Structure 1
Amino acid sequence: MLIRRWKILNREYSSKESLISVDNLMSRTFQEMKNHPLEIPMISDQEFQLLSAFVHQRLGILWESHKKDLAYTRLYRRVQNLKMKNFQEYYQYLVSEEGHLEVQVMINAVTTTKTSFFREKAQFDFLEQEFFPKLRKNYPSGKKRKVRIWSAACSTGEEAYTLALLASEGLAMDRMLEWDLKILASDINTKVLSAALLGQYPLEKIEMIPQALLKKYFHSRHSPKGLLYETKENLKSLLKFRPVNLLAESYPINARFDLIFCRNILIYFDTKTQEKVLKHLLQYLHDDGYLFLGGSEVLRELKGIQRFKNNIYQKIHESIIPTAHERY
């Protein structure tokens, strides 16, 4: 089953190289680091300017001057493993033709991946107590209703799986067949997508999941790293994973969504990039659909959307977008 999921994901990946190739490259270079690591000098101002401009261009992430130590911490091991002398050499490798795979490895190293199940619980309470009950009430039985949800920066999958189990419960999918539910989970970081595909979490990661839901949607197993909880197929089958760069001019998605979660990512963008990404996301949101942002993300005035509550925003009029097809 996992191999089949990898094949699906690899077909969707726009690069000529697969996620597996990137992960293998990363593993190989770590193995190559033996007993004589190179001492890498602290990143210079010039090197930092080059790398921060590259990161901003590719990811939209704004590295201000005080982020120099962060850049060094996250990248020095890559420079070391590649047996390079300094960050100038690493930058030249990134922008060269032979370094095209390294760009994804760099992205995996510099992106922040913090997440958890039921993070910012008030937003999930809204789904459980208001959104799904209203959907059940207002939609006539006997007709299959499509429900589409997008976790646009899913990291290691906790958010996406939380959405899957809440939707399963909220739509009573174990008793009713009229719901056509699909959840897209995307991230630019292929390393965390690999972990999300596996859907395996240690005990400390699943503590926020109620015991009844844990028993219904997860099974436990022992591993060399200790006890792991793995999502069951009744949950995994609802999700599709795909690498997506929110900064891209177009997304490899031809669908519109009832809910879009894009939380705790906009804070890393400058104002111009935030507006670009938000306008792009709204093109994929149904009228009256909901956009969920992180608790510390304040949405400036944006045409076509209004604040609902708990950093949840609702689309209020039609956007001009191409006809959506069910393919993502």
Structure 2
Amino acid sequence: MSDQRDRGDTGLWGAGSQLERDLILTDADFTRIRELIYQRAGIVLAEHKREMVYSRLAKRLRHHGLTRFTDYLTRLERQPDAREWEAFTNALTTNLTAFFREAHHFPLLSVHLQARTEPVSIWCAAASTGEEPYSIAMTLLETLGARAAQARIIASDIDTEALAKARAGIYPQEQVRKLDEARIKRFFQKGTGSHAGLARVRPEVAALVEFVPLNLLASPWPMKGPFDAIFCRNIMIYFDKETQAKILKRFAPLLKPDGLLFAGHSENFSYISDAFKLRGQTVYTLAQR
């Protein structure tokens, strides 16, 4: 979820700064916001997220010339198909990511794919701003060589703004510099002139990834599978256990019998679904049927 846009959880105002607010957010408004984002995206907002909610949605109210969250929410609810719902959801989606984040997963993926003779298929279910699916693509190019051109990576996210950044494939050079020099030279183009300070993923990397908007609560999913691997990392933490279980149940038939499901470092699926068993550090396989 939908990530480099880490907008934080504290908002723009610290303790004792209520007087600086120019918009009115009541307790009832905050409750409605929590209910609406749960209904739309399955995201569970904790009580302490109030400042974050204010700071992120304030721009939407100002965009519409509103001063009360009550009026904004009423407008939303009266137009269930309005495009503003997309902006509402985007605003409340947290995007924190990096290239080769949780690095231990990628050597495991490489070993898993080395013996593959058929075209590889992978689904990245929380693509955010693209760093994760592009890291998968780089791993495929390193592992499969010329055969990587036949692979497909489906990268989905609910945040359409994040996906737009992902499709562009352009990142600050300081973000890319965290990679080793060999990968930077092989997989990125350095920006010059008006693009100085930026780097873009090379066409052969971008060609492996297809970005699609997707709400994991939607039904049906357009992904058909079966996939050699599914990356669903650091998104389940935003759902309650009931939603997590439903999503895991839907993942199971989309994996190949020996396929891998990659989770985030703080996620544990063992106590949520009996469809998967732990294989290694935050890596799962299908349970015996």
Same fold (TM over 0.5): yes
Structure 2: distance between partners of 1:122 and 1:317 = 25
In structure 2, the residue matched to 1:93 is: 75
- Which residue is 1:182 aligned to? 152
Instruction: Give the alignment's TM-score, normalised by structure 2.
Output: 0.87
Find the partner of 1:131 among 112, 127, 143: 112
* Larger relative contact order (Cα-Cα within 8 Å, sequence gap ≥ 6): 2
Quick one: distance in 1 between partners of 2:33 and 2:268?
28
One-letter code aligned to 2:57: L
User: Which of 108, 124, 127 matches 2:90?
Assistant: 108
Distance 1:270 1:224 in 2: 45
Correspondence for 2:56: 74
Alpha-carbon distance in structure 1 between the residues aligned to 2:234 and 2:80: 33
Alignment gaps of 5+ in structure 2: 1-20
Which stretch of the first structure deviates more once superposed, 191-200 or 302-311? Answer: 302-311
Shift of the 51–217 alpha-carbon distance from structure 1 to 2, 3 Å rule, reads same
Distance in 1, matches of 2:55 and 2:194, equals 28
Give, in angstroms, the shift of residue 72 of structure 1: 0.8
* Matched-pair contact (CA < 8 Å) for 1:93–1:99: no
How far, CA to CA, are the matches of 1:95 and 1:283 in structure 2? 35
Instruction: Give the letter for the 1:172 counterpart.
Output: G
> Structure 1 residues 225 and 234 mapped into 2: Cα distance closer, same or farther (>3 Å)?
closer
Tell me, in whole angstroms, the C-alpha distance in 1 between the residues paired with 2:244 and 2:216.
Answer: 10
Q: Which moved more, 1:73-82 or 1:298-307?
A: 298-307
Q: Secondary structure at 1:149's aligned position in 2?
A: strand
For residues 131 and 209 of structure 1, what CA distance do their matches in structure 2 show?
Answer: 23
Structure 1 residue 117: Cα displacement: 0.2
1:237 aligned to which of 183, 207, 211: 207
SS at match of 1:247: coil
Q: Matched residue pairs, number? A: 268
Q: Matches of 1:223 and 1:164 in 2, distance apart? A: 28
Q: 1:199: how far off?
A: 0.4
Q: How does 1:1-328 map to 2 (within 5 A)?
A: 39-41=22-24, 43-97=25-79, 100-128=82-110, 130-133=111-114, 135-136=115-116, 139=117, 145-173=118-146, 177=147, 180-222=150-192, 224=194, 226-299=196-269, 300-317=271-288
SS at match of 1:84: coil
Distance 1:102 1:258, change over 3 A: same
After TM superposition, what 4+ stretches of structure 1 lie above 3 angstroms from structure 2? Answer: 223-226
1:307 aligns to what SS in structure 2?
A: strand
The SS at the match of 1:88 is helix
Runs of 5+ unmatched residues, structure 1: 1-37, 140-144, 319-328
What residue in structure 2 maps to residue 35 of structure 1?
none
Distance in 1, Cα, partners of 2:55 & 2:196: 28
Q: Is the 8 A contact 1:146 1:180 kept in 2?
A: yes
Cα distance in 1 for residues equivalent to 2:23 and 2:275:
50
Identity score, percent: 34
User: Is 1:117–1:158's contact at 8 Å kept on the other side of the alignment?
Assistant: yes
Q: Distance in 2 between matches of 1:225 and 1:53?
A: 42
Q: Is the 8 A contact 1:287 1:316 kept in 2?
A: no
Aligned-residue Cα RMSD (Å) equals 1.8
| Structure-2 change in CA distance of 1:119 and 1:252 (3 Å) | same
